[in-house]
Amino acid sequence: MSGRYSAESAVDRLSAPVALTYLVYATAAVFFLFPVLWVVSMSLRQPGEVLSYPVQFVPRRVTLDPYVRVLQDSGMLTWIFNSLKIAILEVVGIVLVTTPAAYAFSRFDFRGKRHVLFGVLLFQMISPVVIVIPLYNMMAQLNLLDTHLGLILLYIGLQVPFSIWLLKSYFDTIPEGLDEAARVDGCSRLQTLIYVLLPSVAPGIAVVAIFNFVFSWAEFVMAFTVLSESDLYTVSIGLFSFQGQYSMDWRVVAAASVIAMAPLLVMFVALQRYFVKGLVEGAVKG
């Protein structure tokens, strides 16, 4: 009786809005997962099954030959290493730059503060594609073309506005009484930021780090503009080069795409609880 009662209670609690919400979530999950599963399926097919009709979602015969070709006959491992290096250094740089900036915008009142914040937001709304030619000329004058350092600096500059606004919202949720208490105890501004406030905004920093890592890993336009040597390619440019290198063998392109997605999936699974915690805490505090 108790099991039947609990089941009926669960059905009663599943109202129409809740059921509609779950339906929307399920539809969105299918919409985003289907292309990924389709790429995985294509990477495991035999050569004659790629354009066969009727199309089989599950391959009749599984082969790992496309993955072997990607790992042996290309620079995929080098490109993955390059992307990891660029993404990690970009995340470290963006955290070091935007954390004190967001703290200053949140805690200090100075002339022109609103105008500066508006300028930061306005810059965020400009697409990088619009300014790619001026950026290319600037990188050429600084001798930063075909260097990972130049690309890292570009990524940091492009992501500063978004990261500042996101971190500022977290600093705004922390009571200023913590700052005053730390100052009474003899802490300087820098010590207050490092020892008192950073633990409270750690979820926000995690969210900023994850967003920037994904941006650096998947970005194509700036990397394609700055880098021209294959040994310096990132994963996104490497995937683009597969189209001509293998005469549009879609199995190899799909296998390379799956390998390129794997580090992001591992990172998201490993840091999922920090990512969700950061977003939830920011929304609740806001």
Alpha-carbon separation of residue 53 from 49, 57, 77, 191, 248 (angstroms): 8, 11, 34, 66, 19
pLDDT value of residue 85: 94
Query: What is the average per-residue pLDDT within 20-29?
Result: 82
pLDDT value of residue 54: 62
Query: What is the average per-residue pLDDT within 261-286?
Result: 66
Name the more confident of 220 and 119: 220
**Which domains does the chain possess?**
2-63 (no CATH), 66-285 (1.10.3720.10)
For residues 96-110, one letter each, b for 16 or more C-beta atoms within 10 angstroms of the residue's C-beta and e for the rest, the string is ebbbebbbbbbbeee
Long-range contacts, 122-127 (Cβ 8 Å, 24+)? 123/161, 124/161, 124/162, 124/165
Query: What is the average per-residue pLDDT within 230-240?
Result: 89
Percent above pLDDT 90 for the chain = 22
Asked if pLDDT for residue 75 goes beyond 80, the answer is yes
Asked if pLDDT for residue 266 goes beyond 60, the answer is yes
Query: What is the average per-residue pLDDT within 135-147?
Result: 91
Question: What does pTM read for this prediction?
Answer: 0.80
Categorize the per-residue pLDDT at 11 as very low, low, confident or very high, splitting at 50, 70 and 90.
very low
Q: Which of 83-87, 138-142, 239-243 has the lowest mean pLDDT?
A: 239-243
Q: Which of 12-16, 29-33, 156-160 has the lowest mean pLDDT?
A: 12-16
pLDDT value of residue 176: 83
Q: Which residue has the tokens 């730059």?
A: 97
Alpha-carbon separation of residue 120 from 102, 105, 159 (angstroms): 11, 11, 11
